Amino acid sequence: MLQHSTVRNRLLRRLSGDDFALLQPHLRPMPTKLRQILISPREPVTQLFFPEVGYVSVLAENGKYGIEVGMVGREGLVGAAPVLLGSDCATYHEFVQSAGEMLAIGIGPFCTAVRHSPTLRRLMLRYVQTKLIQTSQTACANAVYNMDLRLARWLLMCHDRLDGDEIPITHDLIALLLGVQRSGVTVAVRSLAGARLIRRQRGRITVLNREALITLAHSSYGVPEAEYARLIEET
């Protein structure tokens, strides 16, 4: 049986014992594979997913081009916004960027639990607020910052959601997620590796100096993370 004390998802960990007990019988451990699609646009959301290990990218697609508009790891809940805000279907693709494990829950028992418990509802809505901030900051970073900063911010967001310093990722996928040509990624990776902030190997990037990445990312990184700490973990 799933124990509250051993779950790793930060939202679930924040729940009171009573609120966790409302969800617990309905949480189903589910291993995830790289690029597994959890939510598709224009399709009803039937399950939500609390990531335990690994994380998910939210991808907006417009014909030939796509761009990442959100990231959900252990701090979050995949499917939270459409379900809690009353939409009957999703708008974007949500797919597994780093494989691991989720706790899946059907929309029925989740909504029943949220209706019963104002404290559970408040925590989940606060998470949706931090996710909105994350998306807004992504829009800002895409418009304002150069490629090195955008890559630094993105690597930090991955690093936050992983155990250890190794990010399994190809330049191809980074290019897709950041909405640029692979050559833009090639140069930015070269730049950060040259400054010894990261080490690149085939199929993965290792974070060598997180503090320096934060300094480089400047104000593009940290706003949603600070709001998450304030709204979810300090109250």
Residues 78-137 that bind another protein (CB under 8 A): none
Distance of closest approach, residue 102 Cβ to another protein, in angstroms: 28
Distance of closest approach, residue 194 Cβ to another protein, in angstroms: 7
Residues 139-168 that bind another protein (CB under 8 A): 146-148
Looking at 13, 199, 200, 210, which residue binds another protein (CB under 8 A)? 200
Distance of closest approach, residue 189 Cβ to another protein, in angstroms: 7
Q: Does 68 bind another protein (CB under 8 A)?
A: no
Mark the segment that binds another protein (CB under 8 A) among 36-44, 77-85, 129-137, 181-189: 181-189
DSSP labels, the chain: ---GGG---HHHHHS-HHHHHHHGGG-EEEEE-TT-EEE-BTS---EEEEEEEEEEEEEEEETTEEEEEEEE-TTS-BTHHHHHTT-SSBSSEEEEEEEEEEEEEEHHHHHHHHHH-HHHHHHHHHHHHHHHHHHHHHHHHHHHS-HHHHHHHHHHHHHHTSSSSEEE--HHHHHHHHTS-HHHHHHHHHHHHHTTSEEEETTEEEES-HHHHHHHHGGGSSHHHHHHIIIII--
Q: Does 182 bind another protein (CB under 8 A)?
A: yes
Q: Does 181 bind another protein (CB under 8 A)?
A: yes
Looking at 187, 208, 212, 223, which residue binds another protein (CB under 8 A)? 187
Judged by the rule CB under 8 A, the positions of this chain that interact with another protein are 65, 146-148, 170-172, 180-184, 186-191, 194, 200, 202
